[in-house]
Structure 1
Amino acid sequence: MVIPTSIRFLVFLSLAGLAIFQPINFAFADTVKLPSTSVEATDGSKTTASFMFDITSATSVSRLNTQQTLDLKMSLKPDPADIGHKGAIYAIFVKNNTFFLLNADRRFTVWNGGGATLRPFSEQVVLEAEISVNLLSGKLDSAGEYLVFLAYSLEGQFVLDYTKSPFVLTVHAAQQSPLVDAAFSVFATSLESKVIQTRCVACHVTGGLARNSALQFQRTATGSALNNLSMLQSYLGSAGNSANTLLTKATGGNSHPGGPQIIKDSDDYKAMLQVLTLLEQDQKQRSEGIAYSFNAVQPDAPPSGSSLLLAAVQLEPREATLRRATILFQNRAPTVDELARVRQGDDKTLRAAVRELMSGPQFRDFIVRATNDRLLTEGTENQPINDHFVNYAVLRNLAYDVQFNEGDDAWNQKYRSRITDAASRASGELIAHVIINERPYSEILTAEYMMMNPLLNQVLGGTAVFPATAGGSDFLPSKITQFYPAKEITGSPKHPIAGTKVLSRGTPMADYPHAGILTDFAFLARYPTTATNRNRARARWTLYHFLGIDIEKSAQRPTNEAALSDRNNPTLSNPACSVCHAVLDPVAGAFQNWSEHQIYRVNGDDSLDGFYKFPPNGARSLYQQGDRWYRDMRAPGLFEKPLTNRDYTLRELASRIVEEPGFNTAAVLFWWPAIFGSKPVELPAVASDQGFAEKNTAYLAQQSAIDEFATVLKSRRNAKDLLVEMVMSPWYSAQTSTNYAFQAIHLEADLGSEQLLTPDQIASKTLNLTGVLWRSNETPDGMLYSYYKNIKVLLGGIDSRGVTERATLLTPSMTSILQTHAIESSCPIVVKDFGLPAAKRRLFTKVSENLTPLPAAHQTTVEVTSSSPTNWQEHKVTAQIPAKGANIRISFLNPFCDWNGTTCTDQRYLLIDAVTLRHNPSGTTLRLEANAPGTSIIGKKLDCFLDGSNASFFSDCALNIFLNLDDAYELDIIAHMSARQSTTKPERAQAFIEVLSAADIITANTANALLIKSQIVDLFQKLHGSSYALNSKQVQQTYALFSVALIAAQQSGKTQIDNCQTWIDGKFFSDLLTPNQLSLARSPDPKGGNFYAINFNYVNPLLANYTLDRSGAKRAWMAVVTYMLGHYDYIYE
């Protein structure tokens, strides 16, 4: 039987009235009968039917809990007119705003609220005077409020008699059982500090030797005892685990790698047996009976979509996700076609669109930038590739020749800084190469090559073959072929500036031991080794970046006096130290062949430091001939597995790392901040801290998501798959919280939060959306030099050395600089876009450069050929003068002054004597002197002024005549003008005569005004990703800003934009000029510097043409662009 959809709305209306419906206070009894509620019929007819609801339990029902077995029973007294007929009975439970329908098999399924899907749990029931039916017997395993709606209908009819108000059950989370309390008491006093913290955590912790075990304990912290007991509970709750299994391993059985940790029948053993027995008894009690779980199922959900935390959010529209992903990966807005395809498609369409973004130079830059954010390779203290060492003979001899002939400054300017920049970028280029070409992600460590640009390829003897057009930003896989062992080299005497020149080289190393990032020059330089550090920094960050192990947080640093005073090699033998060093030092040993200057076996046969091999105090050294590693440290290895290859230890280490489960988890952690904008939540340690519960919940939810993302990478080894799933997840696309109870958790987790763009991202976004390369220059070698990087720390960025974490919130200094970015960029953006052909414009595709809301009635440019200031000429134009207010304006277009610091040695200026207005066809005339009423002069007073009755214009000036005519008239406008011409410039003085309506621009409703508003709508979509209607508040306010700026520009009298800082746009000339013009405008530095010299004599006249703004419209658009670039929606994505 199909029930009308009105039942859905009736249930929703009933829910809406719950504010006045109070939960029942149960009496202390094994059974409680809830008071009956009023019943109504869906067709509005009267009914006397009633429902009752009983709750029965073996224990008290005064406070229901999740471990209590309940019998829920309903009783129905149908309307007397329905007695004797057959009917159907319905039950709907509501939990967390989700509807669950009771089915005939007494199972619950999610109900969508539609009448067409409403089904009874009991049919063909003969309706008697009173009917009792059992609804469920078992546990309600989720705490919270349950709402129960009941209804019945007659067979073959479409009318429901239903409970208008629900029966309400409040179920509390079960308190910890006495069995667990007893177990905790024993655990805390007899096991936590004595056994767990002193023995078990040596291996059973994150990153420990038993890192893959189901038992992962927490080191000593507030709440660690409770957490570790919970870990035992979780262990016992997993299939195949038992108290006997754990005790057998703890005593050394079942091939326990850690050997015996407790002795059978000892006090420790008995305490552990007692705790485990109590926990097993508790689990047995909890498992008895049926448990009903009311959790909504979301099919086809992205990773973590089934989590309650993520279910309580509303996702942003797919178009919004695509825009944010396009800005993130490509630094541009999505195209109209891309948006349309996603809008009309489904999640599969969006997933495909996101994946298509993962290619090209912009995506490569995203990967390189994100890699540096983690590895910080741009922050090396010393040169990644040290040009002083003779091992790289090609590099050494090139450096020698330049330094010998031109000095060290020339070498630094021409080569050293470029080599350092390229080497610092190589690790990011390697990861980009692996991801873009969809190679196995493990290759970031196992690659037997490195990424080189043409310069690195030249000085290292690389195997890559570059096209002739390749520049410094082009990288290809390459192998080093010109590395020579030191013992093969013969060098010249050392020059005080140029150093040593390689005279003979011997045989280069046949197979340079590339091992991906592990042998990357900048990685080794960023985490240098010393005589005391012994590669531990390199090992620490290898474990952190590629296995997700933060060794410094894996154990508390020893504070007791005995441990701190131990001088007997404590890292090897003192448990307080070895707990970390057992994991750290073998990985350090894998770097044994690499020196502090990133040279392979710098000593010829090893890279051991001289203090160890030859102690300065004459003490006996542990070193023996042929040693590659320190004898007082653990042998090279990873966890419990030693490394066997002494020549290619890092290759072997890399192959071991990528097989570890932690490698995939570490990859997710590596990319988490780059995709989601913040680091994952750390596990809170102090239970009494404010927000502990929210942080803990957020942490657990994120760890679940991290595990699921890691599974994606493990199964496919394709990082694009990982990045796509991360973008498709609610962690990226969540928009709003739909459940108040989760809002604090969502806030802690930064769920779906918009990201404050980095300085590089803002600059790249501005470049790709507007075409302006902010505070950057193109260089002859194809690289970009960005001046804004000098202030990027103030802008929230990092320098990869002192400041290593990006700002996620705006500061006053950041706000000030971002406003500077908006102001500086606005003029180049506007004048360059209007300087391009309409088909190539990025922004202003609907308006022309002089379009204003009130179109000019007439515009004419006239040439004043007067030979002297006293040679007056008449210049006539004929125009239609609008009624109800009009302005006749005469502007001076081309003033000129050759200023020598004191005066103008040559000059061009304009004089206006009067303007005569003659009516057609009557011939009536009116002569208006420049100082007549109704006339005014616009411009600087020092340069635009009255001299008697004449107007003298020495700069951008205008004479304005206001007319207020009852009707429109055709008039001849005769301007009486003269000029002084320049003696060095051939161009004659020019005046611009126009007739403008004096109507209110802001309230104008002309076709031009609508076109400008339509352009504003497009700008919002392009720059902010926001869609607004033409009459929306946002568009109207922005149009008002345009209008006010336009009025100010027109009232200034200027026809040129002052101080348009085109120099801040590194692509201004290359985008606007032809190749021939560009070669005349700039040329490479004649002294060999990596920059262009500008020919200002050629460039300045071109700039004057681009910054010409007769109507003031360009300046009005500058105001709009400044507003939009400084807006929250521009600097956050």
Structure 2
Amino acid sequence: MKPILSVLTLLGFMLVLTGCEQGYSGNVGGVSAGEDGNLTFLNVEGQRQYDAQCASCHGTDGNGTPNGSSLVACATCTSLSVLADEISRTMPIGNTTACTGSCATDTAEYILYAFNNYALAATATSLDGVTNEDMVVTLRSAALKLAGRLPTDAEIASVENNGETGLSQVLNQLMNEEIFYDNLMEMFNLQLLTDKYLSSNQFEGGINLLDSDDFPNRKWYNDTYAADEESSIRACVRTITNDAVARAPLELVRYAAQTGQPHTLYMNADYMMVNWYSQQVYEAELVDSTATFRKLSEPVCDEDGIQLYYDPTDFKPARVTKDLEYELGGFPHAGVLSSPMFLNRYPTTFTNRNRHRSRIVFDYFLDTDILKIEGERPGDGIGSGTANPTLLDPACYACHQVMDPVASAFQHYTDRGQYVVTGSTSRNSWDSSDIEPAGLGGKTIPLSGTTGYFRNMVQWLGAEIANDPRFVKATMRTLYTGLIGQEPLLSPGDDASEADIAAYNSQRAILNTIGQAMVSDGWNIKTGVKGIVMSPYFRAEAIDAGKVVANEHIGATQFLSPEQMQRKLQATLGFGWDEFRTENNRIMYGGMDSDSITERIMEPSGLTIAIQMRMATEMACRSAALDFTLPVRERRLFPLVAATTTPYNTDGTASAGGEERIRENLVHLHWTLLGERLATDSDEINASYELYDALIQDGQAMLADPDSYDPRPSSWMEWECRARWYRQADGRTDGDLPEAMRIEQDETYAIRAWIGVLTYLMSDYRFVYE
């Protein structure tokens, strides 16, 4: 007889929190049912149990439904013992004792045999029906995206000579560069949104969130520097200090990646990250008592003899050990979970009771959307008239039994993120009679005894999340979204097409394989990044329309954010667009401020295209002549031509050598700016050459008869287009070039013809997509 499921059991089956969908076992490389590493039989009893207790949620074919995830290539489907343990402990959520022991083992055997045998052959570098782009093209895209630069000739040669092995080695090198760590933090901020508190968004935004009773030194710079120094030194220090406080949770991501430590520090680090400036705020003690902060050769802040040399980018682990206003014994650090920035970004209220924080924890760190839990929610949100609906009303309890234990774990934190231990005499009162006790996934936090965590509940929670299989999937989702520019596919529903099902199953298999490799490599997040870059989801060039796996989610080309575009300009032209220094321009170009605008624009609008056209025009004007002032070996744009190279001899006849060099340089520009590898006689190069030729002929005709035109043409270039100034990385002028280096006239019109070509190429949609 099939077991009869209770109301709560049925509701529980609707949850996304299924053990077979969420997680990681620690194994790498496919299903292993036993010592022989394979499963070759169908467990009939397991099939019966699956049909009775699982199929309504996960589908008879294991491909999932709107109420449950797919079990094909599921992350915990890597070994029989792990999957059986997951089912025994967590399934069904509404009645976790309904399938334990042999029931769990039989069901796991059936799932592995029926839905996961094909996963044995899954690889992370190929996908049926998808053609990967040339590895050198992948290298260029990866170098720009990871390190903000173009690949060197030596790196290109390594990939050409050594194939995927060479590409893998170069990726390792790229991920050791400083800009990679900045990009990594950028990826995580797309989700965390704590950059809201940077000084560029809010004046002392991060500092003001700290409680002045706990951290009376939070504005230490006000006491250190006199008011009459407000104009410079104090403002400089204040900005650096505030931004160090604001970025502390993201610096954990950088620190783990940079030092080769596990990414789980994001959840369970028993310290926070500080630089010299924010250490003064917290009066924190460095974990390594012998460590010192790095000083730079040039002062960071300088005014009237007052100079600070401490490097703002040098962050170190530290702990707040001093007694706080409402608690003795310091601050219980728990990675990002205890960060004042995180707690303020996702606050609570008296009635919400940390449930918003709980929802965010499940979403960001456990890849679980609480709002998708099925149930008959009352229209007024009050419940069915029971005294305590979150505990007693089945329609409410299905969600709250999952959400509320995590909410309870945050009970020692106020709405402003201040740490205040609860109790009968505490200013942070907490009534535990109407909410589930603190815990996660059916586990309750021990509050007393030698293993008690009453004061350190969030530390317990962070440790549990770090070991939870779903944290792997959540991390892969963050990396995938950051690198590919879109979220991973959702589980296909009942009405999904064959192509949708195949696409989801293939993606899930590949991402789970990458995630398992990342964890097996000591939770090295670089392994996850490299796995995605090496996968077809990053490298796809063409799709066979006849293959069911073909879908629009293949390929990593995405509209560049203002920050990414600025780095691309710096890599290709040598400096950025100074208009991107202002927040308003970044927002209009599709950026975000992590506050009121929390998502980047992924499809350009008419305004964005207009900005691109202006950017292309201005940057082409400013970069062309300036590039010609450099030695040939240092030129980014024109290494194959001189400023006076034209397609014509002095007598006006065609110059074969001149045209050849111009075409070769056009090949270089198409590669540098658009990532195209072309022949000198290709259609694209022909079009660019025809444009160049038309511009230079028209220009030379104007110079030959200037009186026939109004305004009167001249060999002198427009002021902004002249090579008169050095330029900083952000595009601002930085002093005058020596007179001998300057290029202010263009007597052959060749430079202005190149400006037109650069404008043409940078106006191409492929320049703003990468």
User: TM-score per shorter chain, which class?
Assistant: 0.7 to 0.9
In structure 2, how many angstroms separate the alpha carbons of the residues matched to 1:302 and 1:226?
22
- Displacement of 1:378 in angstroms is 1.8
* Alignment deviations for residues 482-512 of structure 1 (CA, whole Å, 9 cap, x no partner): 8652269xxxxxxxxxxxxxxxxxxxx7653
1:735 and 2:537 correspond: no
Deviation at 1:389, TM superposition (A): 1.5
Secondary structure, aligned partner of 1:517? coil
Structure 1 residues 423-475: Cα deviation after superposition (integer angstroms, max 9, x where no partner):
33333332122123221121122223333344323333353632221666513
- Does residue 670 of the first structure (1) align with residue 497 of the second (2)? no
Per-residue CA deviation, residues 350-381 of structure 1 (Å, 9 max, x unaligned), is 22222221121221121021111111112359
Aligned-partner SS, 1:479: strand
Matched, 1:680 2:488: yes
> Partner residue of 1:1132?
769
Cross-structure match for 1:747: 551
CA distance in 2 between counterparts of 1:1129 and 1:253 reads: 48
Find 2:686's aligned residue among 1032, 1036, 1049. Answer: 1036
Query: Partner letter of residue 679 of structure 2?
Result: A
2:313 counterpart SS class: coil
Give the counterpart of 2:596 among 802, 821, 824: 802
Equivalent AA in structure 1 for residue 510 of structure 2 = A
Is the contact made by 2:123 and 2:510 (CA closer than 8 Å) also made in structure 1?
no
Aligned 8 A contact 1:657 1:663 in 2: yes
2:9 corresponding residue in structure 1: 199
| Correspondence for 2:510 among 705, 719, 737 | 705
Q: Deviations over 1:89-147 (max 9, x none)?
A: xxxxxxxxxxxxxxxxxxxxxxxxxxxxxxxxxxxxxxxxxxxxxxxxxxxxxxxxxxx
- Work out whether 1:790 is the aligned partner of 2:427: no
Greater alpha carbon shift after TM alignment, 316-325 vs 207-216: 207-216
Paired residue for 2:295?
468
Give the SS at the match of 2:273: strand
Give secondary structure in 1 for the equivalent of 2:550. helix
- Aligned partners of 1:592, 1:230: CA distance in 2, in Å? 31
Change (3 A) 1:1042 1:472: farther
Alignment partner of 2:541: what SS? strand
**Structure 1 residues 212, 373: closer, same or farther in 2, change over 3 A?**
closer
Which among 600, 609, 612 is matched to residue 818 of structure 1? 612
| Distance (whole Å) between structure 2 residues aligned to residue 249 and residue 234 of structure 1 | 19
Residue in structure 1 matched with residue 37 of structure 2 by the alignment: none
Match of 1:94 in 2: none
Residue in 2 that maps onto 1:370: 187
The verdict on how the C-alpha distance between 1:1111 and 1:741 changes in structure 2, with shifts beyond 3 A counting, is: same
Q: Are the counterparts in 2 of residues 315 and 736 from structure 1 also a CA contact under 8 Å?
A: yes
Q: What's the counterpart of residue 1060 of structure 1?
A: 720
Work out whether 1:529 is the aligned partner of 2:348: yes
Deviations 1:19-69 (A, max 9, x none): xxxxxxxxxxxxxxxxxxxxxxxxxxxxxxxxxxxxxxxxxxxxxxxxxxx
Flag the 1:834–1:466 CA change in 2: closer, same or farther, 3 A: farther
Q: Which of 123, 130, 136 pairs up with 1:302?
A: 123
Preserved CA contact (<8 Å) 1:515 1:651: yes
Pairing 1:435–2:257 present: yes
Q: How far apart are 1:401 and its partner, in Å?
A: 7.1
Q: Is the 8 A contact 2:367 2:471 kept in 1?
A: yes
Which residue of 2 is the match for residue 389 of structure 1?
212
Q: Are 1:446 and 1:651, in contact at CA under 8 Å, matched by a contact in 2? A: yes
CA distance in 2, matches of 1:842, 1:711: 40
Q: Which residue of 1 aligns with 2:304?
A: none
Per-residue deviation, 1:329: 0.4
Q: Secondary structure at the match of 2:514?
A: helix
Which runs of no fewer than 5 residues in structure 1 stay unpaired? 1-185, 262-272, 274-278, 288-292, 489-508, 609-622, 777-785, 857-996, 1082-1098
- The equivalent position to 1:570 in structure 2, one of 389, 414, 418, is 389
> Which amino acid letter does the alignment assign opposite residue 459 of structure 1?
V
Cα shift readout 1:238-265 (whole Å, capped 9, x = no counterpart): 9999xxx99x999x9999973469xxxx
Residue 1046 of structure 1 is matched in structure 2 by 696
Name the one with the larger strand percent. Answer: 1
Alpha-carbon distance change, 652 to 253 in structure 1, aligned in 2, over 3 angstroms: closer
* Matched AA of 1:656: E
Contact 1:303-1:709 at 8 Å conserved across structures: yes
Aligned ranges 1:208-247 → 2 under 5 Å: 227=65
CA distance in 2, matches of 1:526, 1:253: 33
| Structure of higher CA gyration radius | 1
- Find the partner of 1:1011 among 661, 671, 685: 661
* CA distance in 1 between partners of 2:443 and 2:141 (Å): 44
1:313, 1:739 within 8 Å by CA — same for their partners in 2? no
Corresponding residue number in structure 1 for 2:563: 760
Aligned residue for 1:736, secondary structure, equals strand
Residue 397 (structure 1) shift: 4.7
Q: Which residue in 1 is equivalent to 2:34?
A: none
Structure 1 partner of 2:175: 358
In structure 2, C-alpha distance between the alignment counterparts of 1:794 and 1:800, rounded to whole Å: 14
Secondary structure of residue in 1 paired with 2:720? coil
**Is contact 2:577–2:730 with CA below 8 Å preserved after alignment?**
no
Aligned equivalent of 2:455: 647
Change (3 A) 1:200 1:388: closer
Closer/same/farther in 2, CA of residues 1041 and 254 from structure 1, 3 Å limit? closer
Alpha-carbon distance, 1:218 to partner: 6.5
CA contact (8 A) 1:304 1:704 kept: no
Is 1:421 aligned with 2:243? yes
CA distance in 2, matches of 1:696, 1:1071: 48
Please state if 1:638 is matched with 2:465.
no
Tell me by how many angstroms 1:1120 deviates: 1.4
Counterpart in 2 of 1:258?
Answer: 96
What is the CA-CA distance between 1:579 and the residue it aligns to? 1.4
Work out whether residues 196 and 593 of structure 2, in 8 Å CA contact, stay in contact via their aligned partners in 1: yes
Q: Is the 8 A contact 2:353 2:407 kept in 1?
A: yes
Partner of 2:673: 1023
* Distance across 1 between alignment mates of 2:251 and 2:640: 40
When structure 1 is superposed on structure 2, of 348-357 and 814-823 the one drifting more is: 348-357
Alignment of 1:615-1014 (within 5 A): 623=424, 629-631=430-432, 632-643=434-445, 644-685=452-493, 687=495, 692-716=497-521, 717-742=523-548, 745-748=549-552, 750-775=553-578, 786-856=580-650, 997-999=651-653, 1004-1014=654-664
Equivalent-residue separation in structure 2 for 1:649 and 1:1020 (angstroms):
56
Indicate the structure whose relative CO is greater, using CA pairs within 8 Å and at least 6 residues apart: 2
What SS class does the counterpart of residue 551 from structure 2 fall into? Answer: helix
Would the aligned equivalents of 1:302 and 1:728 in 2 still touch at CA under 8 Å? no
Contact 1:818/1:1126 (CA < 8 Å) preserved in 2? Answer: yes
Aligned equivalents of 1:255 and 1:741: distance in 2? 37
Residue by residue over 1:623-642, the C-alpha shift from the partner in whole angstroms, topping out at 9 and shown as x without a partner, is: 56698643232222112222
TM-score, structure 2 length as denominator? 0.77
Deviations 1:644-702 (CA, angstroms, capped at 9, x unpaired): 31222222211111111111111111111112221112234462xxx654334322332
- Provide the TM-score with structure 1 as the length reference: 0.54
Residue identity in the other structure for 2:212? F
Which string of whole-angstrom CA distances, capped at 9 and with x for unpartnered residues, describes residues 729-768 of structure 1? 22222222235142xx5224x1124222222111101112
Gaps of 5+ in 2: 24-49, 297-308, 446-451, 704-712
Aligned residue for 1:581? 400
Match of 2:39 in 1: none
Q: 1:585 to 1:400 in 2, by over 3 A?
A: farther
Identity of aligned residues (%): 24
Count of aligned pairs between the two proteins = 683
Secondary structure of the 2:601 match is coil
Structure-1 separation of matches of 2:19 and 2:629: 65
Aligned to 1:1116: 753
Distance apart, 1:1125 and its partner CA: 1.6
